[in-house]
Amino acid sequence: MMFFENAARLGHESVHHFNDPKSGLKAIIAIHSTVLGPAGGGCRMWHYENEAEALTDALRLSRGMTYKNAMAGLPMGGGKAVILADPDNPPTDDLFLAFGRCVESLGGRYVTAEDVGVSVDNLRQGKQVTDIVAGLPPTGGHAGGDPSPWTADGVFLGLQAAAKHRLGSGSLRSLRVAVQGVGKVGYDLCRQLHDAGASLIICDVNQQNVARAQADFGAQAVAPEQIISQDADVLVPCALGAILDEQSIPQIRASIVAGAANNQLATEADGQRLRDRNILYVPDYVINGGGIISAAFEYMGDKSTDDVRAQIALIPERLSEIFASADKQQQPTNIVSDLMAERIVAAGASA
Distance, in Å, from the CA atom of 79 to the CA atom of 263, rounded to the nearest integer, reads 15
User: Cα–chain-centroid distance for residue 310?
Assistant: 19
- 33 near ligand NAD, rule: CB under 6 A: no
Q: Pick from 10, 196, 222, 240: which binds ligand NAD (CB under 6 A)?
A: 240
- 180 near ligand NAD, rule: CB under 6 A: yes
Piece of the chain touching ligand NAD by CB under 6 A; list 23-31, 84-92, 198-206, 338-346: 198-206
- 179 near ligand NAD, rule: CB under 6 A: no
String marking each residue 286-305 x if it binds ligand NAD according to CB under 6 A: --x--x--------------
Piece of the chain touching ligand NAD by CB under 6 A; list 127-135, 177-185, 212-220, 321-329: 177-185
| Number of amino acids touching ligand NAD (CB under 6 A) | 24
Q: Classify residue 342 as exposed, middle or buried by CB count within 10 Å of its CB (0-12, 13-18, 19+).
A: middle
Distance, in Å, from the CA atom of 147 to the CA atom of 159, rounded to the nearest integer, reads 18
Q: Are 298 and 134 in contact (CB under 8 A)?
A: yes
Helices (H), 198-289: 207-217, 269-276, 284-287
Side chain identity at 255, as an amino acid letter?
A: S
Active site residues: 80
Closest-approach residue to ligand NAD (CB): 183
Piece of the chain touching ligand NAD by CB under 6 A; list 156-164, 183-191, 248-256, 338-346: 183-191
> For residue 155, what are the contacts with CB-CB under 8 A and spacing of at least 6?
185, 189, 236, 238, 258, 259, 260, 287, 288, 290
**Is the Cβ of residue 98 or residue 194 nearer to ligand NAD in the bound state?**
194
Of residues 304-343, those binding ligand NAD (CB under 6 A): none
Dihedral sign for Cα atoms in the order 20, 23, 26, 27: negative
Judged by the rule CB under 6 A, the positions of this chain that interact with ligand NAD are 147-148, 151, 180-186, 203-206, 209, 224, 238-240, 260-262, 288, 291
